């Protein structure tokens, strides 16, 4: 039971972490988030399905185009549902991002249909057997990809000029502007990156689950809980919180039964936040660059 | 104007009323009888709604071609999508009764939706016919008078059949239950527990899952550790497929017997290569030797729906067959009642003596004590072969 719970927890937890990383990126730079991050999860999976199954494109190409689509969607979200409200000093972007996500979900419902569809993968067909437990190769691939992407984000932030500019904007946006850094454009890029990360999560999880217009809702909610738990501004904290969340979920189901899963998991989230209101892995809000 | 007397003037409105009444009677004779359907026409169980629609449509065409009911009134199907949501189903049912004036409502695959409609139908005195949802308390709802009838399986009887099949086919001595976490799952938990007790076997355990659960391996692992030698699955197509994918992921090759909810959507596509391992219950199969009615219905389906080229394309057969027979029984009830008044139709259903149907020859299908026309002797076990549903043989 332990092995099964660990495999299940790590797999789902790394997806939550990946999606939550998107919240961290945008919040760190702009103090805003895309509350419809779950819709970006769905968009990645649906676009990939449409191109790979519908148009019979090679999987890699379909996934790549789907991710570009997600990034463009992130730009649209920032331009329509965030920037105009932030410019007026309003917090209405909270509602605007939720609303835009609903527009996307319902548009996809009209175009893609309401029936869930399968995204078959050879990595999710024949399991590897470990003791009396089994695992699809994809379940091993998911944490590797998720941690790899998180590392890339970390390295990108530390070792590239874009990362340097981003960190400058995080540290002091006004000072960054004085240094000719286009903070507005940087914020837009972070929304694109956040949607792209969510899209990766959607494409990774689709062969284990299914593809549907409403598949992202629950992922989005859980990922936001993970982001809060991880400290919102701490990328590695968020990834670790994602894994922890997935493990708590899996162990709660394994040992207490599925009717206890959500009760236990969210009770743990509340308890953790009561003990550490800024998140377990509270990130630094200022950085010298 | 000078020729008009007081009597003439008084007679004008009366005459008008008489003409109007005649007109109404004439219109009433030509007015179609509306048949309401509240079912999942979209979402994960959309195929169930399509199957029911096809069964009803073929029966309605047949009835209309032989002159309709009540001296020439045609039947007209009015459909509403409940999206598998009890609240939406109840709203749709209210609209079909109040605005559309439907003489009867037919229900879909989801027991929670049907259970939400039952009190509405009973208070509005409009017959409600279940053709798929199997929760026991849909028909056994303690209402008096009870306006709810069903041509479908009944959980308490299906549960007996599933336990019997698990023990006789797979030699199971300790089946494990994996059930959807809703009213339908609860209904089956009670039925399966009682059926196991009656069969003298002990259940290994019972686990629940949510419709949107991604990974059910923890629940399955608990059942495996508890010594389950067979799984009994109760859930609709999409979550049922997740159970099978989780089972495959666990590399646990255990016999799986299922209620019929999995046949209401894209189960074979979603479940993948293990879909064919599941043996599940239906009330009818279009494979094998068919009665004259079976041949007639299959021919009508093939003529009306170009995608049906043979028995394997009638998917899901349970929805088609139940709806066909239920519609024919409804026409008989209307004829017996002599009107579309709900109370009269209720008596009409109870007054049907016999009907030679697609699923079986019905004799007194409905009585005061029993509003379920089918019983455990009417079930067949099937499995998927690709996209087709075939009887289990051998």
Could you tell me the CATH number of the domain that includes residue A238? Answer: 1.10.3470
Position B233 pLDDT exceeds 60 = yes
Is there a contact between A117 and A211 (Cβ–Cβ < 8 Å)?
yes
Is there a contact between A254 and A1 (Cβ–Cβ < 8 Å)?
yes
Residue of A111, A221, A258 best to disrupt the B interface, most CBs of B under 10 A: A258
CA terminus-to-terminus distance, chain A:
47
pLDDT in tens, B373-382: 999 889 989 9
DSSP-assigned letter for residue B255: -
Contact assignment for B215 to A257 by CB distance below 8 Å: no
Distance separating alpha carbons of residues B388 and B252, to the nearest angstrom: 25
Position B21 pLDDT exceeds 70 = no
Chain A partners of B185 at a C-beta cutoff of 8 Å? none
Question: Where exactly does CATH 3.40.50.2300 map onto chain B?
Answer: 31-153+288-375, 156-282
Position B18 pLDDT exceeds 50 = no
A278 interface with B at CB cutoff 8 Å: no
Position B14 pLDDT exceeds 70 = no
Burial class, B221, CB count within 10 angstroms (exposed 0-12 / middle 13-18 / buried 19+)? buried
Q: Please, which residues have CB within 8 angstroms of residue A213's CB and are 6 or more apart in sequence? A: A42, A46, A105, A106, A108, A109, A112, A113, A114
Q: Which one, of B337, B325, B334, lies nearest residue B365 by Cα? A: B325
Q: Calculate mean pLDDT across residues B23-37.
A: 70
- Cβ neighbours of A68 (radius 10 Å): 14
When pLDDT is cut at 50, 70 and 90, the band that residue A182 belongs to is confident
Position B281 pLDDT exceeds 70 = yes
B250 closest CB neighbour out of A117, A133, A208: A133
SS3 annotation, A194-236: HHHHHHHHHHHHCCCCCECCCCHHHHHHHHHHHHHHHCCCCHH
Position B356 pLDDT exceeds 50 = yes
Tokens of B265: 């959507």
pLDDT in tens, A120-179: 999 988 888 887 778 899 989 999 998 898 888 888 888 888 888 887 877 777 788 887
When pLDDT is cut at 50, 70 and 90, the band that residue B19 belongs to is very low
CA distances from B315 to A179, A229, B287 (A): 66, 47, 12
Averaged confidence pLDDT in chain B: 90
Is there a contact between A152 and A200 (Cβ–Cβ < 8 Å)?
no
CA distances from B308 to A180, A288, B265, B269, B281 (A): 66, 69, 17, 18, 22
Distance separating alpha carbons of residues B234 and B226, to the nearest angstrom: 19
Residue B373, min C-alpha distance to chain A (Å): 31
Structural fold of domain B31-153+288-375: Rossmann fold (3.40.50)
Position B7 pLDDT exceeds 80 = no
Instruction: Specify the 3-state DSSP secondary structure of B148.
Output: strand
Residue B324, min C-alpha distance to chain A (Å): 25
CA angle A146, A148, A151 (to 5 degrees): 110
Is there a contact between B95 and B72 (Cβ–Cβ < 8 Å)?
no
Q: Please, which residues have CB within 8 angstroms of residue A159's CB and are 6 or more apart in sequence? A: none
Chain B partners of A7 at a C-beta cutoff of 8 Å? 217
Radius of gyration over every alpha carbon of chain B, rounded to an integer in angstroms: 24
pLDDT at A277: 77
Chain B partners of A250 at a C-beta cutoff of 8 Å? 215, 218
pLDDT at A273: 82
pLDDT at A268: 87
pLDDT at B394: 62
Is there a contact between B146 and B122 (Cβ–Cβ < 8 Å)?
yes
Q: Which one, of A166, A216, A174, lies nearest residue A192 by Cα? A: A166
Instruction: Specify the 3-state DSSP secondary structure of B196.
Output: helix
Position B195 pLDDT exceeds 70 = yes
Pairing of strands B33-39, B104-107: parallel
Indicate the helix (H) or strand (E) that contains B225. helix B217-225
Tokens of B35: 């048949």
Position B241 pLDDT exceeds 70 = yes
Residue A92, min C-alpha distance to chain B (Å): 30
Contact assignment for B209 to A258 by CB distance below 8 Å: yes
Backbone angles phi, psi at B270, to 5 degrees: -75, -35
> Where in the sequence is the domain holding A108, given as residue range(s)?
2-275
Averaged confidence pLDDT in chain A: 88
Distance separating alpha carbons of residues B93 and B78, to the nearest angstrom: 11
Instruction: Specify the 3-state DSSP secondary structure of B175.
Output: strand
pLDDT at A183: 86
pLDDT at A289: 46
- The more confidently predicted of residues A168 and B292 is B292
Strand order through the sheet with B128-130: B75-81, B33-39, B104-107, B128-130, B148-150
Least confident segment among A142-146, A262-266, A279-283, B47-51: A279-283
Residue A202, min C-alpha distance to chain B (Å): 12
SS3 annotation, chain A: CHHHHHHHHHHHHHHHHHHHHHHHHHHHHHCCCCCCHHHHHHHHHHHHHHHHHHCCCCHHHHHHHHHHHHHHHHHHHHHHHHHHHHHCCCCCHHHHHHHHHHHHHHHHHHHHCCCCECCCCHHHCCCEEECCEEECHHHHHHHHHHHHHHHHHHHHHHHCHHHHHHHHHHHCHHHHHHCCCCHHHHHHHHHHHHHHHHHHHHHHHCCCCCECCCCHHHHHHHHHHHHHHHCCCCHHHHHHHHHHHHHHHHHHHHHHCHHHHHHHHHHHHHHHHHHCCCCCCCCCCCCCC
A&B contacts, CB < 8 Å: 104
Answer yes or no: pTM beyond 0.80.
no
pLDDT at A74: 96
Task: Indicate the number of domains in chain A.
Answer: 1
pLDDT at A282: 63
Contact assignment for A116 to B265 by CB distance below 8 Å: yes
- The more confidently predicted of residues A176 and B128 is B128
Radius of gyration over every alpha carbon of chain A, rounded to an integer in angstroms: 19
Residue of B179, B251, B316 best to disrupt the A interface, most CBs of A under 10 A: B251
**Among all chains, which residue has been given the structure tokens 């009870």?**
B146
Select the highest-mean-pLDDT range: A222-236, A257-271, B204-218, B225-239. B225-239
A264 interface with B at CB cutoff 8 Å: no
**Among all chains, which residue has been given the structure tokens 């676009």?**
A47
Chain B partners of A8 at a C-beta cutoff of 8 Å? 215, 217-218
Contact assignment for B245 to A208 by CB distance below 8 Å: yes
Chain A, nearest residue to B83 by Cα: A114
pLDDT in tens, A11-56: 889 999 999 999 988 988 888 989 989 999 999 999 999 999 999 9
pLDDT in tens, A66-83: 999 999 999 999 999 999
Assigned domain for A164 exists = yes
- The more confidently predicted of residues A149 and B19 is A149
A113 interface with B at CB cutoff 8 Å: yes
Least confident segment among A191-200, B23-32, B173-182, B322-331: B23-32
Chain A partners of B206 at a C-beta cutoff of 8 Å? none
A 128-157 residues with CB < 8 A to B:
129, 132-136, 139
A12 closest CB neighbour out of B215, B225, B270: B215
Which percentage of chain B shows pLDDT scores above 90? 72
CA angle A113, B383, B60 (to 5 degrees): 60
When pLDDT is cut at 50, 70 and 90, the band that residue B15 belongs to is very low
Assigned domain for A195 exists = yes
Chain A partners of B269 at a C-beta cutoff of 8 Å? 117-118
Position B12 pLDDT exceeds 60 = no
Q: Which CATH superfamily is domain B156-282 in?
A: Response regulator (3.40.50.2300)
A114 closest CB neighbour out of B43, B224, B272: B43
Residue of A134, A207, A223 best to disrupt the B interface, most CBs of B under 10 A: A134
Residue of A131, A210, A220 best to disrupt the B interface, most CBs of B under 10 A: A210
When pLDDT is cut at 50, 70 and 90, the band that residue A256 belongs to is confident
CA distances from B301 to B53, B308, B320 (A): 11, 7, 9
A205 closest CB neighbour out of B212, B214, B241: B214
pLDDT at B20: 43
Residue of A3, A4, A12, A205 best to disrupt the B interface, most CBs of B under 10 A: A4
Which percentage of chain A shows pLDDT scores above 70? 97
Tokens of B352: 């049907």
Contact assignment for B270 to A210 by CB distance below 8 Å: yes
Residue B267, min C-alpha distance to chain A (Å): 10
pLDDT at B2: 42
Q: Please, which residues have CB within 8 angstroms of residue A106's CB and are 6 or more apart in sequence? A: A213
Contact assignment for A208 to B265 by CB distance below 8 Å: no
Assigned domain for A287 exists = no
pLDDT in tens, A207-234: 999 999 999 998 999 999 999 988 887 8
């Amino acid at each position: 039971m332990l092995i099964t719970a660990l495999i299940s927890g790590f797999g789902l937890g790394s997806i939550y972490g990946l999606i939550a990383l998107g919240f961290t990126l945008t919040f760190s730079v702009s103090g805003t988030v895309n509350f419809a991050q779950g819709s970006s999860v769905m968009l990645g999976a649906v676009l990939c399905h449409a191109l790979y199954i519908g148009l019979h494109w090679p999987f890699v190409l379909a996934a790549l185009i789907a991710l570009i689509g997600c990034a463009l969607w992130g730009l649209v979200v920032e331009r329509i549902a965030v920037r105009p409200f932030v410019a007026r000093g309003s917090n209405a972007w909270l509602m605007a991002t939720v609303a835009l996500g609903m527009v996307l979900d319902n548009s996809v419902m009209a175009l893609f249909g309401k029936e869930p569809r399968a995204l078959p993968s050879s990595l999710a067909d024949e399991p590897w057997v470990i003791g009396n437990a089994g695992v699809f190769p994809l379940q091993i691939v998911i944490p590797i990809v998720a941690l790899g992407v998180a590392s890339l984000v970390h390295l990108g932030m530390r070792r590239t000029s874009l990362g340097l500019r981003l960190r400058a904007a995080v540290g002091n946006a006004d000072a960054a502007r004085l240094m000719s850094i286009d903070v507005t454009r940087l914020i837009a890029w972070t929304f694109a990156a956040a949607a792209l990360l969510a899209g990766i999560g959607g494409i990774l999880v689709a062969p284990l689950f299914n593809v549907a217009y409403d598949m992202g809702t629950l992922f989005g909610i859980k990922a936001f809980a993970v982001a809060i738990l991880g400290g919102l501004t701490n990328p590695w904290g968020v990834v670790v919180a994602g894994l922890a969340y997935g493990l708590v979920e899996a162990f709660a189901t394994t040992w207490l039964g599925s009717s206890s899963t959500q009760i236990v998991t969210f009770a743990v989230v509340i308890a953790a936040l009561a003990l550490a209101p800024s998140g377990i892995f509270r990130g630094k809000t200022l950085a010298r660059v | 104007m000078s020729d008009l007397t007081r009597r003439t003037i008084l007679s004008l409105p009366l005459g008008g009323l008489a003409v109007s009444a005649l007109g109404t009677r004439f219109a009433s004779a030509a007015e179609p009888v509306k048949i309401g359907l509240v079912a999942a026409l979209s979402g994960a169980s959309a195929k169930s709604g399509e199957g029911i629609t096809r069964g009803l449509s073929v029966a309605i065409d047949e009835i209309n071609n032989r002159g309709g009911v009540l001296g020439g009134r045609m039947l007209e199907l009015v459909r509403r999508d409940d999206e598998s949501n009890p609240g939406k189903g109840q709203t749709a049912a209210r609209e079909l009764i109040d605005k559309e004036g439907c003489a009867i409502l037919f229900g879909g695959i989801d027991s929670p939706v049907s259970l939400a409609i039952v009190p509405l139908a009973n208070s509005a005195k409009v017959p409600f016919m279940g053709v798929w949802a199997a929760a026991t308390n849909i028909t056994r709802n303690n209402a008096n008078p009870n306006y709810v009838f069903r041509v479908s399986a009944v959980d308490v009887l299906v549960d007996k059949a599933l336990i019997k099949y698990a023990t006789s086919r797979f030699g199971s001595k300790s089946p494990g239950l994996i059930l959807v976490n809703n009213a339908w799952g609860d209904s089956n938990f009670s039925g399966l527990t009682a059926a196991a007790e009656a069969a003298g076997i002990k259940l290994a355990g019972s686990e629940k899952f949510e419709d949107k659960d991604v990974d059910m391996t923890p629940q399955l692992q608990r059942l495996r550790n508890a010594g389950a030698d067979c799984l009994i699955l109760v859930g609709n197509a999409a979550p049922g497929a997740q159970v099978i994918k989780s089972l495959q992921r666990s590399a646990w090759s255990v016999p799986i017997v299922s209620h019929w909810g999995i046949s209401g959507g894209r189960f074979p596509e979603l479940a993948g290569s293990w879909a064919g391992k599941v043996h599940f219950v239906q009330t009818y199969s279009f494979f094998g030797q068919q009665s004259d009615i079976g041949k007639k219905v299959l021919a009508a389906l093939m003529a009306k729906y170009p995608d049906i080229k043979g028995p394997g394309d009638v998917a899901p057969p349970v929805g088609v067959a139940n709806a066909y027979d239920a519609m024919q029984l409804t026409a008989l009830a209307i004829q017996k009642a002599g009107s579309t008044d709900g109370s009269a139709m209720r008596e009409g259903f109870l007054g049907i003596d016999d009907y030679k149907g697609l699923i079986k020859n019905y004799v007194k299908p409905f009585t005061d004590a029993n509003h379920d026309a089918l019983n455990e002797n009417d079930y067949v076990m099937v499995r998927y072969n690709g996209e087709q549903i075939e009887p289990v043989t051998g």
